[in-house]
Amino acid sequence: MGNSNSANTEFLKTVLEPLLDEFQYWFDCSCQMLENEKIDFMSDYAQYNLLHRIKQAQEELSAAKSLLRATDGKVGIGMAVLMPWHQLINECWNVGMRFRR
C-alpha cells in the first residue's frame, strides 16, 4: 500500500504542480493585459468582470497550491475545481487573440 501512495504522490507532483503553474502564468498574463489595456470590443464592465473573475481564480489557485505544498503532494484537486479555471483561461486566450488582431 505504501508503494501505491508514493506513486500517487509522485504523480500529483509531476502532473499537478506544473499544471497549477501554467494556470498561474496565464492568469498573470491576462491580468496584465486587462489592467494595462483598454479592450475596445469589451465594455468597461465586461473587462472589469473578467479581471475580477481572474483575480478570484488566482486566490483559489493560491489556496490550492498552498494545500498541495502543505500536504507534500498528498492531496489532489478535483475536476470540478480545475474545469472552471480551464474555461476561464480559454476565455482569456480568446480575448487576447482578438485583442492582438
Convert the pLDDT of each residue in 1-35 to its tens digit. Answer: 445 566 677 777 788 889 999 999 999 999 999 99
How large a percentage of the chain has pLDDT more than 90? Answer: 70
Checking if the pLDDT of 81 tops 70, the result is: yes
Domain that holds residue 9: 2-100
Share of residues in the chain with pLDDT > 70 (%): 93
Total tally of structural domains belonging to the chain: 1
Q: What is the pTM of this model?
A: 0.86
Helix 44-70 × helix 79-100 angle, to 10°: 140
- Residue 1's pLDDT is 44
Q: Which carries the bigger pLDDT value, residue 7 or residue 46? A: 46
Note whether 57 and 85 are within 8 A (CB): yes
